[in-house]
Amino acid sequence: MKKLLTRLARYYHFFYIAFVFLATVFLLYLIIPGESRFKYEFQKNAPWRHETLMAPFNFAILKSNEQIKAEQDSVRSQYIAYFKLDTLTGIAQQNNLGNTLKKLEQDQQTINNLTDFIGTLYQDGILEQASENYPALQDKEQVILVKNKLAERVDIKELHSLKTAYQALSDTLQAELGQTFDTFTQQVNLSDFIHANLSYDEAFNENELQKQLGEVSYTQGMIQAGERIIFKGDLVTPDKFTILESLKQTYETKRGQDIERYLLILGKIILIVSCLSIMIFYLYYFRPEIFNQKRRLSFILIMIVLMVFTSRFVNDRDFIDLYLVPLAILPILLRIFFDSRTAIFALLVTSLLVGYFAPNSFEYIFLNMVAGITAVFSLDKLHRRSHLVFTALWVFIAYSIVFLALSMIEEGNIESIAWEDLEWFGGNALLILLAYPLIYIFEKLFGFVSDVTLIELADTNQPLLRKLAQEAPGTFQHSLQIANLAEEVILRIGGNPFLVRAGALYHDIGKINQPVFFIENQAAGMSPHSELDNKESAKIIIDHVTQGVKIARRYKLPEILIEFISSHHGTTQAKYFYTMYKNEHPEEEVDAREFTYPGPPPKNKETSVVMLTDGIEAAARALKEKTPDNLRELIEKMVKDKLDAGQLENAELTLRDIRIFKDTILEKLMNIYHVRIEYPEEKNPQKK
């Protein structure tokens, strides 16, 4: 059954990795642009570094975005607005005025003159307001009137507003009617005859404007197949740059059609799979502890996708330079959570993927690899905020030096260097400081532990450590001693001193529940075990491991510290009580499992060092004579016992590490107990 479960777990992990890998490939496929890549790289006002280029096919010379915008702005400024003229309104008011004049018994000639005049007003067009109040007529001299589906261009000054039309009608009536004008105006309201008959149709005008904008040509000439475009070594002038950009865009568009489209898709997938495979195979062969943990593997792949997505997003914005994206954040985070080599491999994979669509791919990849590697090695440990600030400064320096070197190679003079690009590198360096809050976020999301967190947890003012100091002071002092000894060992053999210190401080936290049952917390000569059966005593002693794990989880300690609690006795036995019980029950077949710690044995340097140090320090305190020979013999015996019991099989400790461990512990114990070497007496002193 156990073998079956192990096999199922292995298959599950395999399918999980396959799923995550394919999901990452799919996401990167969507993110990375699908256009075919133009194989030549070039810059304006820089030499053409490739062979002489001939046009491979006919293509149009495309206008720049600035040219197109200027022409479209010109169309907008010259656009003449359309106003619809309602002829029925004029006819109705002509009849209205004529009927009114007849009722007032005016002669026919006067009626004809006045109705003709008002008809002319309406034929000219009457606006609701003065022309200055219409945005469509601002700074314009003409307007197009649409009468019965016929368009006529007229001067704006010929149009009337309600106010000017009213005044014109009033003046004409006064001239025609003479002395009877006052009588007429007392009986009739002139404004009843004046109504606006011009209307501005916004939807119609917008549609017409778009038609005219659509007529703006995006090209400015043609290049014929076989025509020479540029010689090798020639300067890429603005005109040549426009032609080359046109060829590039046409090439990438043409390659996205028919069978070439499918080849493009296949090539992009192969590129993505190849890059990710570099990362996966590296983790499989050299970092199995990351490869076999779903959270760690997922984090690395998610970070790669996020950095590629951010780079693509920025690259598509004309007003932001791609170098503003702080790609160095990726190796910084991986260096903090994992190690330098993993960080550099991930940086390489991400740089290659972004380099696929980045302008000047070689320059981009080279700059980011140098800057990223600089970030990794300048950030040996992150346990102060200032460390990250100095790393950002080093990244800026690395970017700047390499950029200036490449520019001098390409340009050949200092005057042509694009000094303004250094601003983007400065922004990049500032954004690297975002890594600090990101550490906290990713710790919570993925359950990682950084050195900063370990330092915080190792603070003896932490609530759980304060509780240990108050309720089990002897255990607390013992834990401090182990922390100091183990930290010194790790500093000499290599490892994480912050992790081993924090782990050592919490390894005996389970003794809080019943502190008096542990010798370091007992008064001289008083032991509650004297009243208990050896089995019961063994159970209480062993339970401090399981209880410690429960307490640690209750206080939400990270799993990496819980490993110290569960593994600091491995699967060894509570030897004292086991031996006592066997001696008291010589005829009984004793079940050793009842006297065995649950384990597991330690799996890394840090937990192994704490296990060895814990046992040796406790045994050294029990020695009556703490001489160098006695301490050395004790250390040798304790280490040998753990090796013989198979407790260090997965410990990642070399023979050299074990030798350094023995020497370090002996040196420190001699200092603690103030052991002095006895000087031999001279047997035959010389007579003076």
β strands within 128-196, DSSP E? 142-147, 150-155, 160-161
CA 39 – CA 459 distance, rounded (Å): 57
SS3 call for 230? strand
Question: How many percent of the chain have pLDDT more than 70?
Answer: 93
- Give the tens place of pLDDT for each residue, 400-438: 999 999 888 876 677 777 788 899 999 999 999 998 899
Assigned token pair, 55: 């046009």
In this structure, the strands spanning 53-54 and 142-147 are: unpaired
Kindly state the helix (H) or strand (E) to which residue 341 belongs, with its residue range.
Answer: helix 340-355
pLDDT of residue 104: 77
Question: Which of 71-75, 172-176, 382-386 shows the lowest per-residue confidence on average (mean pLDDT)?
Answer: 382-386
Task: Decide if pLDDT at 686 tops 60.
Answer: no
Q: Position of tokens 């346990």? A: 383
- Give the tens place of pLDDT for each residue, 614-670: 999 988 988 888 888 899 999 999 999 999 989 999 888 999 999 999 999 999 999
What would the mean pLDDT of 351-365 be, rounded to a whole number?
91
Neighbours of 27 (CB within 10 A): 18
pLDDT of residue 184: 78
| Backbone phi, psi, residue 197, to 5° | -120, 10
Residue type, 392: A
CA 603 – CA 648 distance, rounded (Å): 8
What would the mean pLDDT of 190-201 be, rounded to a whole number?
85
**CA-closest candidate to residue 305, choices 517, 29, 522, 669:** 29
SS3 call for 56? coil
Burial 37-53 (b: 16+ CB within 10 A, else e): bbeeebbeebbbeeeeb
**CA-closest candidate to residue 97, choices 40, 44, 153, 165:** 165
User: Per-residue confidence at 688, pLDDT binned at 50, 70, 90?
Assistant: very low
- Give the tens place of pLDDT for each residue, 293-329: 999 999 999 999 999 999 999 988 878 899 999 999 9
CA 609 – CA 601 distance, rounded (Å): 12
pLDDT of residue 37: 66
Task: Decide if pLDDT at 157 tops 70.
Answer: yes
| Greatest extent of the chain over all pairs of C-alpha atoms, in Å | 167
Task: Decide if pLDDT at 138 tops 80.
Answer: yes
Kindly state the helix (H) or strand (E) to which residue 62 belongs, with its residue range.
Answer: strand 59-62
pLDDT of residue 519: 82
CA 342 – CA 283 distance, rounded (Å): 8
Assigned token pair, 51: 């062979």
CA 631 – CA 665 distance, rounded (Å): 9
Judged on CB neighbours under 10 Å (0-12, 13-18, 19+), 523 is exposed
CA 541 – CA 574 distance, rounded (Å): 8
CA 326 – CA 368 distance, rounded (Å): 9
SS3 call for 256? coil
CATH numbers and ranges of domains, the chain: 2-36+259-446 (no CATH), 75-214 (no CATH), 463-672 (1.10.3210)
User: Per-residue confidence at 5, pLDDT binned at 50, 70, 90?
Assistant: low
Question: Which of 78-92, 354-368, 371-385, 497-511 shows the lowest per-residue confidence on average (mean pLDDT)?
Answer: 371-385
Q: Which residues contact 228 (CB under 8 A, 6 or more apart)?
A: 52, 53, 54, 55
SS3 call for 593? helix
Beta bridge partners of 146: 84, 151
Judged on CB neighbours under 10 Å (0-12, 13-18, 19+), 358 is buried
Q: Which residues contact 632 (CB under 8 A, 6 or more apart)?
A: 662, 666
Q: What is the mean pLDDT of the chain?
A: 87
* 406, 362 contact by CB (below 8 A): no
In this structure, the strands spanning 126-127 and 160-161 are: parallel
* 547, 471 contact by CB (below 8 A): no
Neighbours of 329 (CB within 10 A): 23
- Give the tens place of pLDDT for each residue, 560-592: 999 999 999 999 888 878 778 778 777 777 777
Angle at 450 (CA atoms; ends 448, 452), nearest 5 degrees: 145
CA 209 – CA 145 distance, rounded (Å): 16
* 52, 228 contact by CB (below 8 A): yes
Q: Position of tokens 């169309």? A: 75
Alpha helix stretches (DSSP H) within 645-684:
655-672
More confident residue, 659 or 526: 659
User: Per-residue confidence at 593, pLDDT binned at 50, 70, 90?
Assistant: confident
Measured CA to CA in angstroms, residue 450 lies from 121, 338, 447 at distances of 84, 9, 10
* 540, 563 contact by CB (below 8 A): no
Beta bridge partners of 161: 127
Assigned token pair, 493: 């053999």
Instruction: Tally DSSP H helices, then E strands, for the chain.
Output: 27, 10
CA 216 – CA 39 distance, rounded (Å): 31
Alpha helix stretches (DSSP H) within 458-558:
463-471, 473-493, 497-506, 534-554
Question: How many percent of the chain have pLDDT more than 90?
Answer: 42
Angle at 365 (CA atoms; ends 364, 367), nearest 5 degrees: 65
